[in-house]
Chains A and B, each alone.
Chain A
Amino acid sequence: MISILVELSAGVSSSEADRDESVQQKPDEPVSSAPIKKPVVGASGAGSKNEIRLELNGITKIYPSVIANQDVSLKVRRGEIHAVLGENGAGKSTLMKMIYGVTKPDAGEMKWQGETLQVENPAHARNLGIGMVFQHFSLFETLTVVENVALALPGNPDLKQLADQITEVSNKYGLPVDPQRLVHALSVGERQRVEIIRCLLQSPKLLIMDEPTSVLTPQAVRKLFDTLRQLADEGCSILYISHKLDEIQELCHVATVLRNGRVTGDCIPSEETPHSMASLMIGKDLPVCQHEAPAELGDVRLRLNGLTVESDDPFGTSLQNIDLEISSGEIFGIAGVSGNGQQELLYALSGEEPLKENEAIVICGKAAGKKMPDARRVLGMGFVPEERLGRGAVPQMSLAENVLLTAHAGGMLNKGMIQVKVMNQFAKRCIEKFNVKCGGENSAANSLSGGNLQKFIMGREILQTPKLLIAAQPTWGVDVGAAAFIRQELIDLRNEGTAILVISEELEELFEISDRIAVIANGKLSPSKNLADTNIDEIGVWMSGMWPGAENSEGQANA
């Protein structure tokens, strides 16, 4: 087996024998002064090719409001890329947290390399050889890459040597990163590389990747897969959490499917069809949207004239000269990797960050750049933000009260006093029409599942019959059934003449519902293309900032 030999001057390098032997000892405190172990990625010591590294039997985890995992069992072998497949809310993340020691199961047992044990905490997991790359990174923005990596290592590593190690590992696995940069200056893709390198430096035997591709361009996904295959060839086991069937088919040897916290089956992805895997994942076929060709386009509902916004957030992206036109009866999709200006664009569009130039944004023919969100709604704009709790809805308030947030112009106010009956009626209508599963219009917003809350928020905006609807990440974190419902609602709305703008990081979603598509990168907007005239790969390339006509002096976009 290939191993990396990295020079270390300080400390004694302990042999792998220390690692492989009994793991029953109490884990060290992370800040102890244990000698720095030589990171030997991939050298997994003695053991048969098909040795079972990790075994879970009957794992159960119950929270007050939901059963996250029920009686889950699976086996992961050496050098195996093992998918854990399931839709949002199926219990995948919770399971991984237990393997990594962030939480503990209420029942069941876990065996690591044949020994039954319980992982006490993440430091213990790392000592055992388990590494985890989180979906929402666990990095510290105001610290450098080296400092971030150092925090995940035991003892007090010398930062200079660590920087050299980081460079070696990053070169070996094709994950370029500069150790001295502050994390806040890194793109999302680069941050993920830091997370991965941080794990690799501890020579993991098991690497857990939680939804790693949601922040990557298609090309970056390919590169990541190469890295993962290289690691697997060296003997590292990989647990790959995802809900994307095509990726799992491309990459993974074996898959365990979770639904509603239980295992519904195991399979070998390369031998399955999307249909059979979908049945395991959601019990039926993946729903497909009815998307006929658009009718005639009507008047222009949204026009952006050279929209330019200086971001005053030191970690933000400035928008540069964005031109855009969206007409009645079409769905316009904007793709892009997170961190390229989507937030700033949305704040400018919704009015949460009003502009100095009134004419830069024109809604239904009226200049609106300076207007606040409620004034823009009067012009006919509806807006569904990407954050549900805390922005689209107030968590502690009831659904009825949350209606007041944006729909108050519809007869719910009389001389400044709230008309409770009108408000309740609207809420009831919304719940019924959009199939929102909840305890009635008086139930608190934070008691709904992600999918149901999103349906409610979307419904609230749609019921106001907007002339222009802007939706950000409309089906992020939403279960498959609700996602299909929402996408169909958007298409139906478009058929009735509303102009719709969807900004999303999920290319599949945009390709499913958009009529025209463009890309935002580095705060600039690409030219748009009809969906029929392009494909995922071309858009993937554009997402790096490289579309015809773009000045490449900026270099690659944050990919």
Chain B
Amino acid sequence: MSIDLIESILFATIIAGTPLIIVALGQLIAEKSGVLNLGAEGMMAMGAIAGFAVTFHTGNPWLGVLAGMVAGALMSLLFAIVVLTLMGNQVASGLALSIFGVGLSAFVGKPYESEILETVGTLPIPLLADLPIIGGPIFNQQPLVYLSWAILAGVAWFLYKSRPGLLLRAVGESPSSAHSIGYPVIRIRYMATLFGGAMAGIGGSFLSVFYTPLWVEGMVAGRGWIAIALVVFATWRPFRVMVGAYLFGGVMVAQLFVQGSGLEINIPSQFLSSLPYLATIIVLVIISRDQNTVRLNAPVSLGQPYRPDA
């Protein structure tokens, strides 16, 4: 394998993993507060179409990302109202959001199906970008990759070094205790959920504006669900989310590995495409076996509705 091939595989891996990092971190914050939002796929889809459409009409990809973020947040707001204020079942509502979001995005996106956007170039960091092998993949990357690292650092600091983060963890651990002490549980959960939606929206818009600058129905292809699984795999710890996301990114670009290895095996493309999904299943099985770690890290109230006293 040539150096060039290694570099491009690394590059592709990091890019492929980036939307997963962003979406999963958003999920993580929401889940840490006790809210399980299975609507990630739908939120990402809406983020993708919003991002594409706005970029198409304004020519500015950054406005597109912003639009994606807003779209994701609005979708999560719908979910939050049903689940936090109207106390609906979190699992069912999340599924509903996914179905609705994917459907709505397909509907809204129909007119854009044959359009293409201009590719956005990478943003090299001076000096570091010239390092051998890793310079390109890490320091000469799409701007949103850098953003994903910033979000990661921010989330980690927030959760473990800040007072509001402590509060968030407390709410997820025991909303009734937090309520007894006087904290606004529902409001905190709203904010965490909206953050999750915003991140999902950014992740979705990354796909349609930067990754493959076009719009196709179903282009999110399960990444929202994989991001949810990623949070479980990382046992709700931010840095592990990054590790897992790049692992998945690698699996997603498996085709490059196969071509580069020079093997003459004729592996059907569908099989390679199915690897991320199979990998998700395997990863979930591995992590579920360790009940102890799950118990110590999973927010206790995850998925339970919180009913405040009259």
Contact = CB atoms under 8 A, between A and B. Distances in A.
Interface in A16-36: 30-31
B182 A101 contact: yes
A147 B166 contact: yes
A156 interface: yes
B164 A63 contact: no
Interface in A88-142: 97, 101-103, 121-126, 132, 134, 137-142
A126 B181 CA distance: 9
Contacts of B177: 137-140
Contacts of B170: 140, 143, 151
Contacts of B179: 102
Nearest to B309: A103
B173 A134 contact: no
A141 B295 contact: no
B292 A312 contact: yes
27 contacts: A30-B182, A30-B183, A31-B164, A31-B167, A63-B310, A97-B309, A101-B182, A102-B309, A103-B309, A103-B310, A124-B182, A125-B182, A134-B180, A137-B177, A138-B176, A140-B178, A141-B300, A142-B300, A143-B166, A143-B173, A150-B163, A150-B166, A151-B167, A151-B170, A151-B181, A156-B163, A314-B292
Nearest to A126: B182
Contacts of A312: 291-292
B34 to A, nearest CB: 12
Contacts of A142: 169, 173, 296, 300
A553 to B, nearest CB: 26
Interface string B265-307: 0000000000000000000000000011001100010000000
A370 B270 CA distance: 47
A121 B291 contact: no
A138 B169 CA distance: 14
Contacts of B167: 31, 151
A313 interface: yes
Given A103-B309, A313-B295, A151 B166 contact: yes
B255 interface: no
Contacts of A138: 174, 176-178, 180-181
A473 to B, nearest CB: 21
Contacts of B178: 138, 140, 151
A152 interface: yes
A148 B173 CA distance: 12
A303 B170 CA distance: 44
A403 to B, nearest CB: 28
A222 to B, nearest CB: 28
Nearest to B183: A30
Interface in B92-109: none
Given A63-B310, A102-B180, A140-B174, A314 B295 contact: yes
Nearest to B181: A152
Contacts of B176: 138
A130 to B, nearest CB: 12
Interface of A: 30-31, 63, 97, 101-103, 121-126, 132, 134, 137-143, 147, 150-152, 156, 312-314
Given A126-B182, A141-B174, A143-B166, 4 more contacts: A122-B180, A123-B182, A134-B180, A151-B181
Contacts of A101: 182
B244 to A, nearest CB: 22
Interface residues of B, number: 23
B174 A122 contact: no
Contacts of B309: 97, 102-103
A29 to B, nearest CB: 9
Those 6 A-B pairs whose CB atoms lie nearest each other, nearest first: A122-B182, A138-B177, A138-B180, A123-B182, A140-B173, A156-B163
Residue among A102, A103, A151, A152 having the largest count of chain B Cβ atoms under 10 Å: A151
A123 B291 CA distance: 37
Interface in B78-127: none
Nearest to A61: B310
Interface string B180-195: 1111000000000000
Contacts of A141: 173-174, 300
Residue among B166, B179, B182, B300 having the largest count of chain A Cβ atoms under 10 Å: B182
Given A156-B163, A314-B296, A143 B169 contact: yes
A50 B18 CA distance: 68
Nearest to B180: A138
Nearest to A150: B166
Contacts of B291: 312
B159 to A, nearest CB: 12
Given A102-B180, A122-B182, A137-B177, A31 B163 contact: yes
A121 B185 CA distance: 13
Nearest to A184: B296
A121 B182 contact: yes
A126 B292 CA distance: 37
A467 to B, nearest CB: 36
Contacts of B295: 313-314
A4 to B, nearest CB: 23
B183 to A, nearest CB: 6
Residue among A97, A124, A143 having the largest count of chain B Cβ atoms under 10 Å: A143
Contacts of A151: 166-167, 170, 178, 181, 183
Nearest to A315: B295
Nearest to B296: A314
A400 to B, nearest CB: 27
Contact of B181 (A97, A103, A122, A156): A122
Nearest to B163: A156
A543 B173 CA distance: 30
B170 to A, nearest CB: 5
B308 to A, nearest CB: 9
Interface string B37-73: 0000000000000000000000000000000000000
A100 to B, nearest CB: 8
B23 to A, nearest CB: 25
Nearest to B173: A140
A131 B25 CA distance: 37
A132 B176 CA distance: 15
A126 B180 CA distance: 12
A453 B189 CA distance: 35
Nearest to A103: B309
Nearest to A312: B291
Residue among B163, B164, B292 having the largest count of chain A Cβ atoms under 10 Å: B163
B240 to A, nearest CB: 17
Interface in B139-197: 163-164, 166-167, 169-170, 173-174, 176-183
